[in-house]
């Protein structure tokens, strides 16, 4: 009997994100999604540590999702919430580059190493998908930092950096903030949509408002800080909040944004798996990342409508 | 037969019910039994410990025997006559033998005139139990019906790794063993589904109520409509609850994390509809105590779910502060 590598169960590794091929920078093509992890922890003393293993946990969790597609007849599934079809690619437009090589104990090194990886990814015309690490590093893969006409949609519980050029929108802010920051966030050049806005107006409406805000941008980076989810649903994050949005809201918004903006890059960060033994936080982070890249990777197969 | 265990909590039967054998059952009894099998799940194993966890979780309610008043729903609940048969004698590494054992086991319970209440195990265990139930109903001239509460349709075929018998093919296996598709129903479906299963729902106009439809139409009306659609007498209807129909925020104890689904209260209100008429057999599957070992939410909820199904319920008048 000749050995043939067959289908693997969801727990069998070694894991890449959604079991896409491993690759190197030189393997990237125009329009590909380039996955990489950040093995770094939060240095903010207000927050609980634990994000360093986040990227590995998200990769593991993503195999659960992809194994359902692999095992499905026709290798495709339908999302009953959105009606969207997701299928296993005939040819992968996604490579997992592994984790950023860096000294995890030296934040300045991580920042420069992350920058050193992101630049060639963008130069290759690829779309970075950064997994894991603390929210404080996510700005480094924001394509807006590299391109003048790049926009940013943040799904985050925090107000974020002041943006006088009006290129960014933030969804999901909650909790307490310094009054001065809150005043800044209310200036006309800033688009802030709170978790309360999501509850009152609905996830779809709020996502569309953010999409309208960045509609003049050539490309848009989407950054997800998993701290925006209510801790009842997902507690594996450095600073869980009690008035956050639901997983359904997050996935609804990710699906809508991904199909409405030209995607420049994605960041899914602030996952601390050891703080949620239920395995829910990394699984939700994987789902959010998959929803965001689905039109680029899982919906491109010919004949799928 | 062992005596009721209210004064002997160490016995650990479900709701401190008497422990007994099939021969001890009397017509109208509820017959509890566990099915500690979990090898058909592609996710996290551990549902084999579901029956034990549920029995542990039921101890909280056992102290209220023989009856108690539930404030939330303003109802008095009376414990019915019930016997805990222990766990079914499965063969963990031999599914075909286990299938045959469960098929005959539930038939023997039904032949005694009792109402089976099974605790899984993963959802595959429903297939032989429902098949045995269906055979019994047909023997007495009835036409069996099947209603499942699950996140999935479970209408899969052969899994490339797990083969024919896996939990994603449960409804397929039930349908292939004497249940007419028109007398089957699926409640609470959500998330990703294989496209061929969804196409079958549309092509054959199967009785499927998605989570969105439940939210739109209300749980009570939806469940009543489903029971009407399958068109069977209550005692000819088998009801299976896979706990993954719940949003994992309420009960995280399943083999895979779930991020949408019924709330705990919604599922309980669905069970109250079943309680109004009773059904012929009932199971709860998918309870895996391991994802959150320090919490007993899943075990306690499963026990409460069973209690809401089996207890005789009657309304009470609550006294208010002003009298």
Distance CA B30, CA B66 (A): 15
Q: Is B109 on the interface with A (CB under 8 A)?
A: no
- pLDDT number for residue A251: 95
Residues of B whose CB is below 8 A from A249: none
- pLDDT number for residue A112: 84
In the numeric block, which tokens belong to residue B138? 């047909």
What stretches of chain B show up as alpha helix (H) in DSSP?
Answer: 50-62, 95-111, 126-139, 170-175, 195-204, 211-217, 219-230, 264-277, 297-310
Q: Tell me: the pLDDT tens digits for B205-229? A: 999 999 999 999 999 999 999 999 9
Q: Does residue B11 surpass a pLDDT of 80?
A: no
Q: Does residue B6 surpass a pLDDT of 50?
A: no
Quote ipTM for the complex. Answer: 0.77
Q: Is A81 on the interface with B (CB under 8 A)?
A: yes
Q: Are B271 and A297 in contact (CB under 8 A)?
A: no
Under an 8 A CB cutoff, do B260 and A248 touch? yes
Under an 8 A CB cutoff, do A81 and B191 touch? yes
Greatest Cα-to-Cα distance within chain A, rounded to the nearest angstrom: 71
- 């005789």: which residue's tokens? B312
Give the minimum alpha-carbon distance from B192 to chain A in angstroms, rounded to a whole number: 4
Residues of A whose CB is below 8 A from B257: 61, 278-280, 283-284
Q: Does residue A303 surpass a pLDDT of 80?
A: no
Distance CA A114, CA A122 (A): 12
Q: Tell me: the pLDDT tens digits for B102-117? A: 999 999 999 999 999 9
Which candidate from A6, A9, A79 shows the least CB-CB separation from B192? Answer: A79
Percent of chain B surpassing pLDDT 90: 75
Q: Which of B188, B254, B259 to mutate to test the interface with A (most CBs of A within 10 A)?
A: B259
In the numeric block, which tokens belong to residue B227? 């029971």
**Of chain B residues 140-159, which have a CB less than 8 A from chain A?**
156-157, 159
Nearest alpha-carbon partner for B129 in B175, B174, B187: B174
Nearest alpha-carbon partner for B207 in B261, B134, B279, B145: B145
Q: How many CB atoms lie within 10 A of CB A272?
A: 29
Average pLDDT (B114-128) is 97
Nearest alpha-carbon partner for B20 in B35, B8, B7, B5: B5
Strand partners, A84: none
Residue-by-residue DSSP string for A10-63? TT-SS--GGGPPB--GGG--TT-EEEEE-------TTS----TTHHHHHHHHHH
3-state secondary structure of B78: strand
Residue-by-residue DSSP string for B34-64? EE---TT-SS---GGGHHHHHHHHHHHHHTT
Distance CA B21, CA A18 (A): 49
pTM value is 0.86
Please give the residue that has the higher pLDDT: either A64 or A178: A64
Q: Is B322 on the interface with A (CB under 8 A)?
A: no
In the numeric block, which tokens belong to residue A256? 């809508």
Q: Which of B45, B195, B213 to mutate to test the interface with A (most CBs of A within 10 A)?
A: B195
Q: Does residue B8 surpass a pLDDT of 60?
A: no
Range B91-117 burial, b when 16+ CB lie within 10 A, else e: eeeebeebbebbbebbbbbbebebbbb
In 3-state terms chain B splits into helix, strand, coil percentages (rounded to 5) of 40, 20, 40
Please give the residue that has the higher pLDDT: either A247 or A137: A247
Residue A85 is classified by DSSP as: E
Under an 8 A CB cutoff, do A7 and B160 touch? yes
3-state secondary structure of B211: helix
- pLDDT number for residue B5: 43
Residues of B whose CB is below 8 A from A279: 44, 257, 291
Q: Does residue B1 surpass a pLDDT of 60?
A: no
Distance CA B251, CA B302 (A): 9
Q: Which of A12, A203, A233 to mutate to test the interface with B (most CBs of B within 10 A)?
A: A233
| Residue B285 phi, psi (nearest 5) | -125, 170
């Amino acid at each position: 009997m000749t050995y043939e590598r067959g289908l693997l169960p969801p727990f069998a590794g070694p894991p890449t994100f959604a079991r896409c091929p491993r690759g190197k920078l030189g393997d990237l093509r125009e329009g590909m999604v380039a996955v990489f992890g950040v093995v770094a922890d939060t240095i903010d003393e207000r927050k609980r540590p634990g994000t360093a293993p986040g990227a590995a946990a998200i990769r593991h969790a993503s195999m659960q999702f992809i194994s359902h597609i692999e095992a499905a007849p026709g290798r495709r599934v339908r999302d009953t919430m959105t009606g969207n079809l997701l299928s296993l690619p005939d040819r992968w437009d996604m490579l997992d580059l592994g984790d950023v090589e860096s000294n995890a104990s030296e934040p300045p090194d991580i920042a420069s190493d992350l920058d050193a990886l992101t630049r060639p990814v963008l130069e290759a015309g690829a779309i970075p998908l950064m997994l894991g690490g603390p929210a404080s590093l996510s700005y480094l893969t924001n394509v807006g930092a590299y391109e003048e006409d790049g926009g940013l949609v943040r799904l985050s519980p925090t107000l974020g950096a002041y943006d006088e050029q009006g290129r960014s929108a933030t969804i999901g802010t909650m909790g307490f903030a310094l009054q001065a920051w809150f005043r800044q966030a209310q200036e006309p050049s800033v688009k802030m949509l709170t978790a309360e806005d999501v509850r009152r107006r609905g996830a779809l409406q709020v996502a569309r408002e953010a999409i309208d805000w960045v509609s003049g941008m050539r490309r848009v980076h989407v950054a997800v800080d998993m701290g925006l989810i209510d801790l009842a649903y997902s507690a594996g994050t450095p600073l869980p909040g009690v008035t956050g949005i639901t997983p359904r809201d997050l996935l609804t918004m990710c699906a809508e944004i991904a199909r409405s903006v030209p995607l420049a890059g994605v960041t899914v960060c602030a996952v601390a798996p050891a703080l949620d033994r239920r395995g829910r936080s990394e699984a939700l982070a994987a789902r959010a990342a998959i929803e965001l890249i689905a039109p680029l990777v899982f919906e491109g197969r010919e004949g799928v409508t | 037969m062992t005596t009721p265990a209210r004064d002997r909590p160490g016995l650990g039967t479900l709701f401190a019910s008497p422990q007994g054998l099939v021969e001890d059952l009397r017509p109208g009894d509820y017959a509890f039994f566990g099915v500690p099998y979990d090898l058909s799940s592609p996710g996290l194993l551990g549902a084999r410990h579901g029956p034990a966890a549920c029995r542990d979780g039921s101890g909280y309610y056992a102290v209220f025997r023989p009856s108690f008043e539930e404030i939330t729903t303003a109802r008095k609940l009376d414990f019915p006559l019930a016997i805990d048969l222990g766990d079914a004698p499965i063969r963990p590494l031999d599914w075909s033998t286990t299938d045959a054992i469960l098929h005959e086991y539930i038939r023997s319970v039904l032949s005694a005139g009792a109402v089976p209440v099974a605790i899984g195990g993963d959802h595959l265990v429903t297939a032989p139990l429902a098949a045995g139930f269906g055979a019994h109903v047909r023997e007495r001239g009835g036409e069996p019906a099947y209603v499942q509460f699950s996140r999935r349709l479970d209408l899969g075929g052969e899994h490339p790794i797990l083969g024919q018998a896996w939990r994603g093919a449960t409804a397929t296996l039930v349908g292939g063993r004497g249940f007419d598709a028109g007398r089957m129903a699926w409640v609470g479906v959500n998330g990703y589904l294989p496209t061929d299963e969804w196409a079958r729902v549309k092509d054959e106009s199967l009785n499927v109520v998605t989570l969105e439809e439940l939210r739109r139409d209300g749980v009570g009306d939806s469940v009543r409509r489903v029971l009407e659609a399958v068109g069977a007498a209550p005692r000819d209807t088998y009801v299976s609850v896979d706990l993954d129909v719940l949003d994992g925020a309420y009960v995280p104890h399943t083999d895979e994390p779930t991020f949408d689904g019924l709330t705990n209260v919604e599922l309980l209100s669905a069970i109250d509809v079943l309680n109004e008429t009773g059904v012929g057999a009932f199971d709860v599957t998918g309870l895996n105590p391991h994802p959150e070992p320090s919490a007993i939410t899943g075990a306690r909820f499963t026990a409460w779910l069973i209690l809401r199904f089996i207890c005789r319920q009657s309304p009470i008048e609550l006294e208010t502060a002003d009298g």
